[in-house]
Structure 1
Amino acid sequence: MIKGQRFRRLPLHALLLAMGVIWVYPFVWMILSSLKTNTEMINGGIRLLPEVLQWENYARAWKLANFSDYFTNTVIIAVSSVIIVVAMCALTGYAMGRVNFPGRNLLIGAITASMFIPKGYTLIPMYIIIKQLGLLNTLPGVILAESSGAHVLFILLFMTYFQKLPNELEEAAEMDGCGYLRTFLQVMLPLSKPMLATTAIMQFIWAWNAFLIPLVFTLSKPNLRTLAVGMFSFVGEHSIDWVGMCAGAALSLIPVMIVFISLQRYFIEGVSGSIKG
């Protein structure tokens, strides 16, 4: 019976394997193309493996294309925005999930509705605010712009998670003399590690790959560009350095992969917990 079930599942497994290969192929192609010459990449057809490994493509992307500075800028922007967004969404989600205040349902509906507003529509007012604050063409300005917005998904994740926690935790903390903020920081927040990791991973990836906001808010300061915007360095007036672009893209993926692998256990717990809730 078990062998029969395995045999019937073979077509499904073969289909899933084929879909997995198709899904991974662009990534493998990019990595192997970063080790070729431009001529070999263009004329190589479907052949993936390079004739000679061109490791100098990575050195050229890191130094000549100024990726070292772009990398530093991207790390500062991504990490700072993660800290701001996690703190903001955790506090908002806790207040909405644990406090019954007048107009709570109306506020939840308004925040949820803002999810359907395209981010491009808020770019102009955001630009005006950052300019009036005197932060245009600065890293703090880009950080604030990347951290702005309702971040509805993260707020709802924290709200549903905090709603499921028992009231006895807050009552015990209150008996120990903890105030509202201390209860949140020392009791409730440590229990929300899966949500913290989920929010941190997703915001880090979004901020790391952001293109429009870093481009618009650093037009006059090219040295403040991020890795995504810095890809323009490989586009010349009459030619494009395709292999250098692939090498730069490969370098930009390393921190994202490290963050995801380090926090994947909490990320899976957070996603599964939100689905169960």
Structure 2
Amino acid sequence: MRRAFTHIMLLGFGFAYVYPFLWAVGSSLKSPIDFLDTGLGLKPTTFMWDNYVKAWEQASFGTYFLNTLIISVATVACVLLLTAMAGFALARHTFPGKKALIGVVLATFLLPHGYTIIPVFDIVKALGLLDTLWSVILVQVGGGLVFGTFMFMAYFQTMPRELEEAARVDGAGYNTLFFRVILPLSRPMAATLGLFTFISSWNNFFLPLVFTLGKPELRTLGVGLYAFTSQTSTNWTLLCAGAIISLAPIVVVFVVAQRYVVDAIAGAVKA
């Protein structure tokens, strides 16, 4: 009875957690009148599949989708490369001021974006990158370096040093050791961090809004959803359809990378 009660409670909490997503899916297939009549109901009276076509065309989702994809892929690639190299250096080498450096870097991780957005904006403007996709990419990469570095550092510390020693005996240099031995072995951590970074970049709203404000054609999907809202009304059905479109790539990426995520978590538990 205790186990059955636990399962019932978990199912209830799970349904409450998933319900907003199910409601968004159902609402994306409703007509505007059906949306108002059914309220929090999940099932549409009539299935309006053309809501997705209208959302894609009316809000220029094709352009926003491409912008979001470019920004997210570039951010993931840069974050993984830079944090893997920094994490390996911090995990395997000792140098004067290492602890102080780690402390300072960790302190920057605790700063909210609101406190740093003005100086970052000034730097981007001084570099002449304002209203470009590169501005969003570089700022997001900078924001993900600290977390990724510490993730890789902790992962590399669990690797046996015998691997490095064997590679050096075979004549591998530092670059060969890192790119052909260490980095391939860190694939589970790279997949985990890449997934988190991709989700964070894909869903980011604040940074793309600030750094592409002067060029609406550079907006991302998160910012583009505002096309369905105005001062007087909101097209809720198309807004839900646009939200589902923006979530679909994240689901696909998670399904592809979940095996590596599980391996990374299992490795961390064993360590």
Q: Give me the TM-score of the superposition, normalised by structure 2.
A: 0.96
Partners of 1:79 and 1:257 in 2: how far apart?
15
Partners of 2:151 and 2:79 in 1: how far apart?
13
Deviation at 1:151, TM superposition (A): 3.2
Query: What's the counterpart of residue 254 of structure 1?
Result: 248
1:16 counterpart (10, 14, 18): 10
Residue 41 of structure 1 pairs with residue 35 of structure 2:
yes
Query: What's the counterpart of residue 218 of structure 2?
Result: 224
Q: How many residues align?
A: 271
Partners of 1:172 and 1:202 in 2: how far apart?
33
Q: Is the 8 A contact 1:36 1:52 kept in 2?
A: yes
Deviation at 1:141, TM superposition (A): 1.4
Deviation at 1:115, TM superposition (A): 1.9
Q: Is the 8 A contact 1:157 1:274 kept in 2?
A: no
Query: What's the counterpart of residue 185 of structure 1?
Result: 179
1:145 counterpart (121, 128, 139): 139
Render the CA deviation track for 1:203-234: whole Å, top value 9, x for unaligned.
00000000111000011100000000001100
Q: Is the 8 A contact 1:34 1:246 kept in 2?
A: yes
Query: What's the counterpart of residue 243 of structure 1?
Result: 237
Render the CA deviation track for 1:46-72: whole Å, top value 9, x for unaligned.
432111111111011101111110000
Deviation at 1:23, TM superposition (A): 0.8
Query: What's the counterpart of residue 126 of structure 2?
Result: 132
Q: Is the 8 A contact 1:111 1:150 kept in 2?
A: no
Partners of 2:41 and 2:163 in 1: how far apart?
60
Residue 246 of structure 1 aligns to which amino acid in structure 2? C
Deviates more, 1:109-118 or 1:211-220: 109-118
Partners of 2:114 and 2:268 in 1: how far apart?
28
Percent same amino acid at aligned positions?
46
Deviates more, 1:68-77 or 1:135-144: 135-144
Q: Is the 8 A contact 1:160 1:274 kept in 2?
A: no
Q: Is the 8 A contact 2:65 2:220 kept in 1?
A: yes
Give the unaligned 5+ runs of structure 1: 1-6
1:73 counterpart (67, 77, 82): 67
List, as ranges, runs of 4+ consecutive aligned residues in structure 1 with deviation greater than 6 Å.
none
Q: Is the 8 A contact 2:131 2:214 kept in 1?
A: yes
1:62 counterpart (56, 79, 83): 56
Q: Is the 8 A contact 1:70 1:225 kept in 2?
A: yes
Deviation at 1:237, TM superposition (A): 3.3
2:196 counterpart (193, 199, 202): 202
Deviation at 1:273, TM superposition (A): 2.8
The 1:117/1:133 distance shift into structure 2, 3 A limit, reads: same
Q: Give me the TM-score of the superposition, normalised by structure 1.
A: 0.94
Deviation at 1:275, TM superposition (A): 4.4
Q: Is the 8 A contact 1:114 1:150 kept in 2?
A: no
Partners of 1:82 and 1:30 in 2: how far apart?
28
Residue 83 of structure 1 pairs with residue 77 of structure 2:
yes
Aligned to 1:149, the other structure's residue is in SS state: helix
The 1:271/1:113 distance shift into structure 2, 3 A limit, reads: farther
Deviation at 1:179, TM superposition (A): 1.4
Residue 81 of structure 2 aligns to which amino acid in structure 1? A
Query: What's the counterpart of residue 108 of structure 2?
Result: 114
Deviation at 1:150, TM superposition (A): 5.6
Q: Is the 8 A contact 1:235 1:241 kept in 2?
A: yes
Give the unaligned 5+ runs of structure 2: none
Q: Is the 8 A contact 1:92 1:155 kept in 2?
A: yes
Residue 72 of structure 1 aligns to which amino acid in structure 2? L
Aligned to 1:231, the other structure's residue is in SS state: helix
Query: What's the counterpart of residue 169 of structure 2?
Result: 175
State the superposition RMSD in angstroms. Answer: 1.3
Partners of 2:123 and 2:223 in 1: how far apart?
22
1:273 counterpart (248, 267, 270): 267
Residue 180 of structure 2 aligns to which amino acid in structure 1? Q
Aligned to 1:166, the other structure's residue is in SS state: coil
Deviation at 1:274, TM superposition (A): 3.2
Deviation at 1:170, TM superposition (A): 1.1
Aligned to 2:143, the other structure's residue is in SS state: coil
Partners of 2:87 and 2:268 in 1: how far apart?
13
